[in-house]
Structure formats: C-alpha cells, structure tokens
Structure 1
Amino acid sequence: MTEQFTDFNLKPEIMTALDELKFKTPTAVQARLIPTVLKGRSVVGQSQTGSGKTHTFLLPIFNELQPNLEQVQAVITTPSRELAQQIYSAAKQIAKHFKSEIRIGNYVGGTDKERQIKQLQNHQPQIVIGTPGRIADLLKQQVLDIHLTKTLVVDEADMTLDLGFLPEVDVVAGTMPADLQMLVFSATIPQKLQPFLRKYLNNPVIEEIPVTTVISPTIDNWLVSTKGSNKNDVIFNLLTIGQPYLALIFANTKERAEELTRFLRSQNLKVAMIHGGVAPRERKRVMKQVQNLEFQYVVATDLAARGIDIEGVSHVINDGIPNDLDFFIHRVGRTGRKGMSGIAITLYTPDDDSQVAQLEQLGVQFKPKAVNKGELVDTFDRKRRVKRNKTQKKLDPTMIGLIKKKKKKIKPGYKHQINQAIKRKNQMDRRIEQRMEGRAQRKANKLAGKENS
C-alpha cells in the first residue's frame, strides 16, 4: 500500500497544495483508490465519514486536468449545499497553486441562477461542483455543456438517494459520453442504488474500506440519561459545564432544532442554527460566521451533519439518537478530526436502549455519565438492572396461575390461602422428588443384583 503522496507521481502544483495542508500520508481510501482512478477506471468507494474521500477524487481530477482546454472536464455532484461548498473550497485550495487559471463553478440551489446563466454563456468552467438539481437545471437551460466531460463524481451517493436527487444525477450522467469515468463515493451502498450503478458503471473497481473503528479513538463517547429530567436543561448544563471551544448540537427534526435554539438563546447563549428550512443565503451567511468562530454553539439537523467541516469542534451533543444510525456516525465524526481529541455526548431514555445496543455492536464504546451538582460525573452502567434481573429466580408457573386468579376485592385471609397453597406445592414437589429418587435407587439395586448373579 502507498505510504506517501509522493508515490502517486502527482503534478508539482498538487504536491505544493498537499504540503500547504500538511498532508503527508494518504488515508486508507486514498491509498486504495487514487492509483486506480489515475488509470482511468470507474470506482465505487465505500468508506466512513472523515476518511479523506474528497481528496481521493480531487487529486486525480487535477492531475489529469488540461488547463488550456476550454471545456468542462469533470463534474462533481453532492446532495447538499454545505458539502458542495466544502468541496469547492478544497478544489480552490489546489487550483491556486497552478500557474494557469483553473475555472471552477459552484452551482447549488438557492443561489442567483440568472447570474450563473450569464457567466456560462460567456465561458464554461473546467470543473463543475454542485447539487444535482441545479446542475440538471442548467443543462435544461442549455447553458452548461458537459457532453465531452470524461469524469463524473457522485459524492455521498446514499444521501443523494435518500434525499430523492438520483433522477437528477441520472440526467447529468445521461448527458455525458459513453466512455464516462464515474467515481461513486458513499458511506453505505443501499440496495436501491444498485440499478443506477449497473446502468452507468461497466466493470468498476469496488473497494469497501474496512472500518477499524466507526468512531475515531480520539473521541470520548459519553452517554447521559435524561429520564426524569428536562432535556433542554440537561443540554444547557452540558454546554456550560465544560466551556467547549465549539459545540455542535444535533437535533432529529428542524422543529426540535428551532425549539432548542430558542431555549438556549433565552439562556443568553449565542447560538447559530442550521437546517434545511433555513433560507439558502441565511445558511451560507451563518456557515461563514461559524467557520470564522463567531459562534460557540451550533444547533443543526442531519442534513447539515455531512456538510459541516469546521476546524476545532470540541464537543458534539446528540439531542436524541437518529433513526438512521449512519447519521450518528456522521454527527460524531464532526469532532476528533485530524487526530485531535473530542467529546461526543449522547442523550438517551430507556426507550432508546435497543438503538444504544446496536451502536455498541458497531464498536461504539459508551461511558455512562450524569450531571450532578454542576459537574459531569461517572455513573452506573445502564445495563446493570438487566444483569441483575437475569440472576433472579423465575416465579413458578403454578404460582403465576394462582396469582392471576386474584380477585379485584381481596377477601380476608387471601394471603394466608396463598401461603398455604405455596406450602402444599412445595410439599408436593418434595414428595415427587423423593419418589423419583426411590425409583432410581430400586432400579439401580435391581441391576446390581443381576450383575452379581
């Protein structure tokens, strides 16, 4: 396996960009797939969040890019505006080291489409990045020309499917040449994605990067029960106990995100809010403020979980466990990045036990914690009651039957009757046991007599 980026024989400009980022050793997905992509093969790469997928496709794209060729040479689709912006920023960081200008277009919903149309009528970008809906819309307007494009990247394919954007990706792919190189990256490969992959991928290289641990070992995973407590108060206490550098609080719905934001703001905390219902321009403005560290606390939904890549996230708090456990991994993956330490706190109730158990089966190791007198302290394992119950003697079926016969109005002497019934049952059990022992003894004696004769 490749040990250094220098083993890839990349262009000097790319190596300079990697040096600026202090990237020396490729991640597992980069080491496995970059050489294959450089050979022009189509690939399906399944890898967990934070594994370095973005540079797995950006480095080969820039390495094969012809700066003097005035046409779209690569298209990258991604399901959210935040992800598109993240990829766009990474691409610009590489492009600035080239002597010739590399034109990169970022096309997402909620931005000025008319302005984009005018720009495209004047010149085409060499790399297109954007959400499937906006790219398909620009194709429909016949202002974006991708009929000669050789490479299509479908980033976060499972999320693209979940959000219903696969038809638009189909339109984009259908506009490209038959010998298209397609690079599909995803945390999971759902069954419903298979028909699309079979349609466009001819004998692709499929790599599933094994998960050594679903959560970075630099992250402490704490489990806090909210049974009998007000969840808003618990979150406020968690945020103010440790004074996090930057905390992301994930809610399962945008309604809950808004409710929680209102409460935290009422407690005089400066809180940013990001979810799919926030107007695009407002989301972009807030994201920029968050990246500039103007906020210490951010409330977000899962739509934003994969698109938030902010340096220095010290804490992630799960307001609740998401139904799709993959999102749990994406949430927690916002902290503990690049070898830094992080704390992930998950709130739960007894109703969440099965989901917690599933996460534990995935390798997530939780430490039980509780808020006590303004401090976060170690507490009991949530499974202690289950363990204790397993050692308790089960009630005899006969006794269960007797108890079930109990009337709503208990007659005098009912307890005495039950006790007498239990006593008689025990006597009967002892007699049966003695008879069995006697029969066994007589049988043994009889066999011994035959052997002696």
Structure 2
Amino acid sequence: MAEKANQFGQFNLKPEIITALSAIGFYEPTPVQAKLIPDILQGRDVVGQSQTGSGKTHTFLIPILNALEQKKNYVQAVITTPSRELAAQITLATKLFAEQFNQNITISEFVGGTDKQRQIKHLEHQQPQIVIGTPGRIKDLVESGALKLHAVRTLVVDEADMTLDMGFLSEVDYIAGAMPETLQTLVFSATMPEKLKPFLKKYLDNPHFEAIPVSTVIADTIDNWLLATKSKDKNDVLLQVLTIGNPYLALVFANTKERAKEIASYLRGHGLKIAEIHGDIEPRERRRVMKAIQNLEYQYVVATDLAARGIDIEGVSHVINDDIPDELEFFVHRVGRTGRNGLPGLAITLYGPDEEDEVAELESLGIDFKAKQIKDNEIVDVKDRRARKQRVATTKKLDPTMVGMVKKKKKIVKPGYKRRIKNAIKRQDQMDRRIAQRQEMRATRKANKKRGETR
C-alpha cells in the first residue's frame, strides 16, 4: 500500500529507494525534485536555483544512491558544502536513507576542525563510496594523495553562492579538476551571482537550469506579521514578542554577529535560555549547540544569516526578524525555516520608520504582510492600514545620479525628492558595507588558510 501511494515511483527508481523514501515519510516530490530528478537520473548536469526547504538535498541524494554501485569500493560521489553544519546535516540525511539498503554503503564526512591525520590513515585502508564535506578539507585530502577521486561520477556543489562568498570556490575548482572529464556536476544555489558563472561554464556541459520561484518556497501555512518598533527600544519589543507568543521554538535573526550577541545577552538577562549561532561561536561549541537545539533543550535561538545558512532546525514555530536583512532574498530564506511539512508557522518582522521602502520592496516580491502592534501586552491588528497600502517601492532600481544631485544642494525640489535621495544614499551605503564585509571575509579566510587554522 505504501509503495503504491509513493509518487516517487514515477522516476523508475530501485525498489530500495522507494522503501527508503517511504520510511522517512517522503511520498510526493517537491517542485525542484519533480523537475530535476529525471535529468539527474539521465546523467545530465543541472543547476538548481532553489531556497531552503525546497527539498534540494534529496534532489541530488536520490539519484546518487539510485546509481551507486554498492559492490565497488571507490569514491563515486562527492558533495561539497560551505559549512560544517550543513555537511553534518547532509551526512545524517544520507545515512538515514542508506539504512534502508540491504548492503552497507560507506559514507565519510570530511570537514575542517577534525583530525586530518586520522582521516588520512583511515583512507589508506578504505575509500568511501560517498564523500561529504567542506572544500578546504576535501582538497587537503586530495592533495595528500589519500583521497582518490579518479573514478567519481557525480560532484554536487551545494550552496554555491555561499561557497563563493566565503572564498571556497578555488578549492572546489581544484577538487573538480581531480575528477574525470565525464563528470556529472550538480550545482545548487539560492542565488546565481555573476562571479559563479565562469565555474559553471568550465565544468557543466549544457546543463538543465531550473529556477524554482519564490512563491513555491514560502508555504501558505506561514503568517507574515509586520511590527513597527517606532520609538520603542527594539530589545524590549523582542522580549515582549517572544514572551507573549510563548513559541514552541523561536529562531531570531539578526543582521550582524554583534547584534546577535547583543540580543542574546539582553534576553538572557531577562531569564530566557538562549542558543547562539554566529561567526564568533567556535566550531566545537557550535556543534554542541546544534545538538542541544535538535534535542529541544532551547526554546529560543539567535542567529545570523551567514552562520545559519543551510542549517535545518526542525520544529521552528516562530521566525523573528530583528531587522530586515540587507540582502532581501535572505528574507525568504529566513521565513522558510518555519511552516514546514504543512505545519503552521509565524514570521514576525520588526521594522523602523526608515525601512518603509524595504518593506514595500518585499511586498512587491509577493510577501503579504499583516500589520500588527503591541497593545496591553498583546499583539493586535493595526486598524488603519491605508498609509501602508499607499506606499510605493522606490528602492528596486534607484538612479545612481541621485547621490550626485544631493551634493549640488538644489534649492527647488519636488515633493518627496529629499526622501528619495536619502533612501538612495542609504542603499548605496548598505551596498558599500556589504562589499567591505565580503572583502573582509575573504581576507580572513586567506589569512586562516596560511595559518592552517581551518584545516
């Protein structure tokens, strides 16, 4: 009965694959799976532009395991991820899936911060069939001669845009270069930056490109509330939101690690048990925290976008945006952490008077906000929304000459002109900060590599 009801049967998969899918409760393909699995099974290169929660992990795991030659003990597939946490999650998903097979499948996870010499010694005795890990450590093992990639059939580059941002693309390039020319390459990314395209052109042969629209990612079970902070202290508003709602598990997003630490400290000072996920948390502590979160030891988690990217935390009932993210596509990524598997979810976004245009831009992307306010220790509807509905998005394509115009200090201006110029300057400042942050990140990465700290 279960096998008959499983819609993955349309892909003509091995019986043990269908059994494994049913065992983990997967009966119907997600949009990205329905569109890409057939091409991957046929050996085509693919590029999937898809947000978190869209099912991309099993989009590549299902074909890889279906094609795996279980009796051959050499590396057949390599999956690279930019973060250790994401590598651990994919490894766990692969092992749970592989448990349904009659014959053992060897899976190895290689990430920075672990014992490299021990891994090299283990590889001397056995090569895994599936390798999952971070680019730096996999490259190290290949360079040492311990990891053999001469017979790999499939390379998966997961979270490719984040891999680029963190400066790991050169390592992925090296890894791909150690593989056969007949390699099948699968690239998955939330966004598709221009600097990623040379890599795609180099390693992908006539790939199937599939962009899964945002509308298919934000579940209709998620309510999006918009809460104006106005002149109130934002920390106090956050505390009220978290204590009024009494969430099952709340994920609070901050734009910077400094702000994340400030929020965590403030909330702890008011008696809340807080878990932190950001760049200043040491790898070993981060693994401990993630395990504790999965074990439901925390009700509140404060995180940054970069550190939490790709981390899948089960059971999130509330997502709180302390601020609108600088990269607006991250909003979808954040909100997608709740409302999974048909369950209801709530996303609450705090915003100030100077963020009206950012809110309007999110609305232009199809986000349907419900305006709310805190009154008498309750979150209630805002009765008059006419002012919000009249707002027009002006930040999408701003004219760069606005910045020059303001320097001329023209005395006669049209209504709203000064406000538009102010917003243009603000957006340019945000862009400059993002560029500086990315340059700093890459510089730090290079420095760490020289010191051998990340390997």
Which residue number corresponds to residue 366 of structure 1?
369
- Compare CA radii of gyration and give the structure with the larger one: 1
Q: For 1:246 and 1:65, how far apart are their aligned partners in 2?
A: 38
Deviations 1:63-110 (A, max 9, x none): 000111110000001111121111111100111111221111111122
Which residue number corresponds to residue 280 of structure 2?
277
Contact 2:371–2:381, Cα closer than 8 Å, also in 1: yes
Q: For 1:341 and 1:348, how far apart are their aligned partners in 2?
A: 23
Contact 1:224–1:370, Cα closer than 8 Å, also in 2: yes
Matched, 1:78 2:75: no
Matched, 1:166 2:165: no
Deviations 1:246-305 (A, max 9, x none): 000011111111111111111111111111221111100100000010100001111233
Within 5 A, what are the aligned runs for 1:270-349?
Answer: 270-349=273-352
Q: Given the alignment, which residue of 152, 162, 169 partners 2:155?
A: 152
Gaps of 5+ in 1: 390-399, 402-453
How has the CA–CA distance of structure 1 residues 359 and 155 changed in structure 2, closer, same or farther, with 3 Å as cutoff?
same
CA positional deviation for 1:113: 2.1
**Is the deviation greater in 70-79 or in 202-211?**
202-211
Q: Given the alignment, which residue of 113, 123, 128 partners 1:125?
A: 128
CA positional deviation for 1:115: 2.2
Amino acid at match of 1:167: S
Deviations 1:148-187 (A, max 9, x none): 1111001111111122111111011111011110011112
Q: For 1:248 and 1:383, how far apart are their aligned partners in 2?
A: 31
Matched, 1:7 2:25: no
Deviations 1:407-439 (A, max 9, x none): xxxxxxxxxxxxxxxxxxxxxxxxxxxxxxxxx
> Percent identity over the alignment?
65
Q: For 2:120 and 2:97, how far apart are their aligned partners in 1?
A: 26
Deviations 1:354-380 (A, max 9, x none): 211111111011111111121101115
Which residue number corresponds to residue 111 of structure 1?
114
Deviations 1:191-243 (A, max 9, x none): 11111100111111222233435521110101111121111111111110011
Which residue number corresponds to residue 195 of structure 1?
198
Contact 1:213–1:363, Cα closer than 8 Å, also in 2: no
Which residue number corresponds to residue 260 of structure 1?
263
Q: TM-score, normalised by structure 1?
A: 0.83
Which residue number corresponds to residue 450 of structure 2?
none
Amino acid at match of 2:294: Q
Provide the aligned length of Structure 1 versus Structure 2. 390
**Is the deviation greater in 324-333 or in 58-67?**
324-333
Matched, 1:208 2:219: no
Q: For 1:386 and 1:15, how far apart are their aligned partners in 2?
A: 48
Q: For 2:213 and 2:333, how far apart are their aligned partners in 1?
A: 16
Contact 1:13–1:94, Cα closer than 8 Å, also in 2: no
Matched, 1:47 2:50: yes
Amino acid at match of 1:63: N
Q: Given the alignment, which residue of 242, 247, 252 partners 2:250?
A: 247
Matched, 1:225 2:256: no
Contact 1:82–1:304, Cα closer than 8 Å, also in 2: no
* SS of residue paired to 1:153: strand
Q: Given the alignment, which residue of 30, 34, 37 partners 1:34?
A: 37
**Is the deviation greater in 321-330 or in 304-313?**
304-313
Q: For 2:21 and 2:207, how far apart are their aligned partners in 1?
A: 28
Gaps of 5+ in 2: 1-5, 393-410, 413-455
Amino acid at match of 1:181: Q
Contact 2:79–2:131, Cα closer than 8 Å, also in 1: yes
Which residue number corresponds to residue 61 of structure 2?
58
Contact 1:80–1:303, Cα closer than 8 Å, also in 2: no
Structure 1 consecutive aligned stretches of length 4 or more whose deviation exceeds 6 Å: none
